[in-house]
Structures are given as structure tokens and as C-alpha cells.
Amino acid sequence: MPDACYYSLIERDEDGRFLGWIPDLPGATASGFTEDEVIHQLSESARQRLHDFLMSGQQPPPARPVGELPSSEGRREVRRLLLLIG
């Protein structure tokens, strides 16, 4: 599978857990007690989603530039992380 880059968003919930998702890869989500745990889960989830697209003959969705991602306005602080998926 060729390398791909997608931004993930990670926020901390009120109960202290971390929640993460990749806006441009529907279904690529994760939650955990540490950011490292969420990042690892997101990487695995993204690989699986990309594999699913390729195996079904579909092109994976394009990644948006960081400036087009949802912001923290009106929400808890959201961290952005660029994931290289290979």
C-alpha cells in the first residue's frame, strides 16, 4: 500500500479519556487513556480503512489541508496531528 498522510484530531474528554478521529477517513476513530494509545489506534484504523478502499477498487478520499480542518471553536481544545500511514 502506498504511503498516505492524513490529519487526525485529538481531544480530551471531560472524564480524562482521549478521543481521536480522522475527518477525511470515515470510520477511523479511537479512544483511550493516553494520547499515545489513541495515536496507535488511529494509525491502525487508518491502515484498515485505506486497505478497505483499495480492496474495493475505490480511491481513498483526499486529505484536506490543515487550514480546512474543524477548529476548537465552541469545543474543548483539539490537537491536530499529521499521521503518515504506510
Q: What is the mean pLDDT of each run of 10 residues along the chain (86 residues)?
A: 82 92 93 95 94 92 85 68 79
Residue from 55, 30, 66, 62 nearest 45 by CA: 30
3-state secondary structure the chain: CCCEEEEEEEEECCCCCEEEECCCCCCCEEEECCHHHHHHHHHHHHHHHHHHHHHCCCCCCCCCCHHHCCCCCCCCCEEEEEEEEC
- Distance of alpha carbon 11 from alpha carbon 66, whole angstroms: 16
Q: Which domains does the chain have, with CATH numbers?
A: 4-85 (3.30.160.250)
